[in-house]
Amino acid sequence: MKYIKSFLSEATYTCSNLDNKIISKIVSELKKLQKGKGRLVILGVGGSAANASHAVNDFRKLCKIDAYTPVDNVSELTARTNDEGFETIFDSWMKIFKLNKDDKILIFSVGGGNLEKKVSMNLVQAIKYAKKCRSKVLSIVGKKNGYAYKHSDICLLIPVKNNKNVTPISEAFQAVIWHLFVSHPKLQKNSTKW
């Protein structure tokens, strides 16, 4: 019981301390994308990859935003990993996708990639490539010391009270935030059935 109460208290802390101004800025960027007919590429690895896949569905169905994620094609993803290495799976996909300045990248990540530790280098390479294409990078991360936090155009930091729970809290709130986006009256075009 003690752990349950503590974890839910941490979730309440996170919810109460989210930066609403940053959330609003991301909503505005997504609205520009929706109006301008650009495409949204959502990136994540691990649990964040599952969130990316779910979010693509919601952005397409509820907001009529042309959204994609490379993680939905496991055959291509694993072939690229096998032939080129895990670091290049996203930027090489975006090259064929012909990413351009009208498109936006949305990154879901706990750490956001780290050059020094060589962690989530595929996200680092994707951000570098997106910048090269002049595509705006939006991100939702759980740590300030990662590459995405430092190099995104707009980054929402998930406030975490207990660092031992940075992964579950960050990944849970990625889902809360994208559901906020797709339910937002400025973005939602189709209502849900329930």
Cβ-contact 112, 146 below 8 angstroms: yes
Cβ-contact 111, 140 below 8 angstroms: no
| Closest CA relative to residue 25, chosen from 148, 191, 153, 159 | 153
**What is the sign, positive or negative, of the torsion defined by CA atoms of 179, 59, 31, 109?**
positive
The 10s digit of each residue's pLDDT in 89-111 is 999 999 999 999 999 999 999 99
> Tokens standing for 170?
């960050």
Over residues 164-189, mean pLDDT: 98
Query: Which phi and psi angles does 38 have, rounded to 5°?
Result: -80, 175
Confidence band, pLDDT 50/70/90 cuts, at residue 88: very high
| Closest CA relative to residue 155, chosen from 134, 180, 183, 127 | 127
d(CA 176, CA 194): 18
Q: Which long-range contacts (CB under 8 A, 24 or more apart) does 45-52 make?
A: 45/71, 45/109, 45/120, 45/122, 45/123, 47/167, 47/171, 48/108, 48/109, 48/110, 48/171, 48/174, 51/108, 51/171, 51/174, 51/175, 51/178, 52/108
Is the pLDDT assigned to residue 115 strictly greater than 90? no
pTM: 0.96
Which pLDDT score, from 0 to 100, does residue 135 have?
98
State what percent of residues in the chain have pLDDT above 70. 100
The 10s digit of each residue's pLDDT in 47-59 is 999 999 999 999 9
Confidence band, pLDDT 50/70/90 cuts, at residue 193: confident
Identify how many contiguous H helices and E strands the chain contains and give both numbers: 8, 5
The 10s digit of each residue's pLDDT in 13-25 is 999 999 999 999 9
Is the pLDDT assigned to residue 39 strictly greater than 90? yes
Q: Whose structure tokens read 């060589």?
A: 118
The CATH classification number of 2-183 equals: 3.40.50.10490
Is the pLDDT assigned to residue 85 strictly greater than 90? no
Over residues 41-69, mean pLDDT: 97
Is the pLDDT assigned to residue 116 strictly greater than 90? no
Q: Whose structure tokens read 């050059």?
A: 115
